[in-house]
Amino acid sequence: MGGDMNLAIIEKEGLHLFVAELLRRKNTVVGVKDQSAVSSIPGDSGFYTYAPINSPEELTLSFDVTLIPPKKYLLPAYEQLLTFNLSPGSIKADAPKEELIVFGVHPYDIIAINQMDKVFSTVPQDNHYLERRKRTTIIGVDPVKIAPRAFWSSMGADTVAGGFDLMLTDIGQCYVMEVGSKKGASLLKMAPKTREAAPAEVKERDKVRTEARKRCDANRLSFSYLELPSLLDGKEEHVIWEEKSHLCFSCGTCNLVCPTCYCFDVRDDVSIDLKKGSRYRTWDGCLLSDFAQVAGGGNFRGHRADRYRHRFYRKGQFIYRRFGDIACVGCGRCSAQCPSDIADPIAVFNRLKEGI
């Protein structure tokens, strides 16, 4: 060892031992599990989910995409925020306490997390989110398998410069492991069988990344994603919104599976004597019919086409104007999971570009 260990090599066997060591030290590790064995759909080639890992054998690093993004660990689908009691009159905020290692996060999902970090640290800060984020270690991995509907290579999301603690790239016999933070550097010390990466191995990493990017180019935007904010200007009345949304079930799946969607609803559960209760939040989605409903029953987006259009504007223009990010990282989850196959941003944006 020695030298600059910003780029290290870890043998495959060493990685196995590394995961075992993390577990032995009682860390909570979540990672990607291949769920094909539990699929009940004949001929299903399988699917992947993030779940707790109890042994290194349970972890898969060669996945294409997971059903739900890792945002579920930073912004849980259900999260209690506080409890209150009128006698003796107390309010107690719930604070996230668990330390978590998320092992195996693709660059596009890390970019989505970086976007959420920006949103939730903007005043008024979201302390629950920020506390979880602080307690979460992210070990990234470059994709080797490409999901059939992925288009991250078109969205500038094939690699990521920061937001991870460690980043792994499978270069065949071993992994290149990039250190992205102090936390990552101290984790690396725990990993057996590591050494500094040789220049040829770093080149090999570039090659692996370029090849993956080329394969992902099978689905692509016909123009630069940075043109999206201006492309959407003046397209509010385009026929595509009515035409496509005719098939929309308003199920909200495209929101829930999206790594850059972070909207939530806050509710109170109050005891029957109105003396105590709790406040919690749950995921919400702008495609759900009551999302923009207000007191008195008014609904700012009561029509399906308005909700459908809103999502594309949010991805391509609204978040960019507020935070400087295009809020689609090309994971392809919405495209793959929409029951009507109308949620694919590539299909909508390319058609708007063609002007038909």
Shortest separation between residue 48's beta carbon and ligand SF4, angstroms: 15
- Count CB-CB contacts under 10 A for residue 303: 13
Query: Can you give the binding site for ligand SF4, defined by CB under 6 A?
Result: 248-254, 257-260, 287, 315, 328-334, 338-340, 342-343, 345
DSSP type of residue 3: S
Rounded to a whole number of angstroms, the minimum distance from the CB of residue 228 to ligand SF4 is 11
**Smallest distance from ligand SF4 to CB 34, Å:** 21
Q: Which is nearer to ligand SF4, 155 or 188 (CB)?
A: 155
Q: Which DSSP string do the residues of 15-44 spell out, in sequence order?
A: HHHHHHHHHHTT--EEEEEE-GGG--STT-
Which CB, 10 or 32, lies closer to ligand SF4? 32
From the CB of 305, what's the least distance to ligand SF4, in Å?
A: 11
In the complex with ligand SF4, the residue whose CB is nearer, 84 or 313, is 313
Which one, 82 or 347, has the nearer CB to ligand SF4? Answer: 347
Tell the smallest beta-carbon distance from residue 105 to ligand SF4 (Å): 14
In the complex, the smallest distance separating the C-beta of residue 338 from ligand SF4, rounded to whole angstroms, is: 3
State which residue, 49 or 250, has the beta carbon closest to ligand SF4: 250
CB 325 within 8 A of CB 319: yes
CB of 289 to ligand SF4, least distance (A): 10
Nearest residue (CB) to ligand SF4, 10 versus 288: 288
Q: Tokens in use for 201?
A: 């191995």
Shortest separation between residue 336's beta carbon and ligand SF4, angstroms: 9
- Nearer to ligand SF4 by C-beta: 156 or 192? 156
> Quick one: 137 or 253, whose CB is closer to ligand SF4?
253
